[in-house]
Amino acid sequence: MPIHTNSADTPRMPSPLATRAADPPALWIPGCGVLIPKPEPTPAPSRYVSIKQAAARAGVSADAIRRMIGDGSLPAYKFRGQIRIALEDIDKAMRRVR
C-alpha cells in the first residue's frame, strides 16, 4: 500500500527565483563590465559609554565623572545594573564653560 503524504507536510525547497532575490554579495555595474564586491557594513558606534570610557573621552578621572553624576551636572542612565552616559551629555558637560 503506497504512503500518501500531504503536500503541506513535506518541506519545500526555495525556488531559484527566491534565492536570486536575496542581497547579492557584489554589485554589477552595467556598461563597464565590472563586478564590485559590496563593502561590509560598519557597526554603528555605541551611543552610551561606561564611566571609564566617559572619563577617557573627557580627559578626566573616573572619580570626576562619578562626582559630576552625583551632583547632577552629568546625566547618567542605568542599563541592566551598569551605569552608562550618553556621548552627547559628555560633550555638553565638557563645553559648559562660562
Q: What is the mean pLDDT of the chain?
A: 77
Q: In what order do the strands lie in the sheet with 77-79?
A: 48-49, 82-86, 77-79
Helix, coil or strand: residue 25: coil
What is the average per-residue pLDDT within 56-64?
A: 94
What is the average per-residue pLDDT within 64-89?
A: 93
CB atoms within 10 A of CB 39: 7
**pLDDT band of 55, cuts 50, 70, 90:** very high
Q: What is the pLDDT of residue 93?
A: 85
**Where does the chain have alpha helices with state H?**
16-20, 51-58, 62-71, 87-95
Q: What is the pLDDT of residue 54?
A: 95
Q: Which residue has the higher pLDDT, 13 or 36?
A: 36
pLDDT digits (tens, 9 = 90+) for 24-54: 666 666 777 677 777 776 666 679 999 999 9
Instruction: Spell out the domain ranges in the chain.
Output: 48-95
Write out the CATH class of domain 48-95.
Answer: mainly alpha
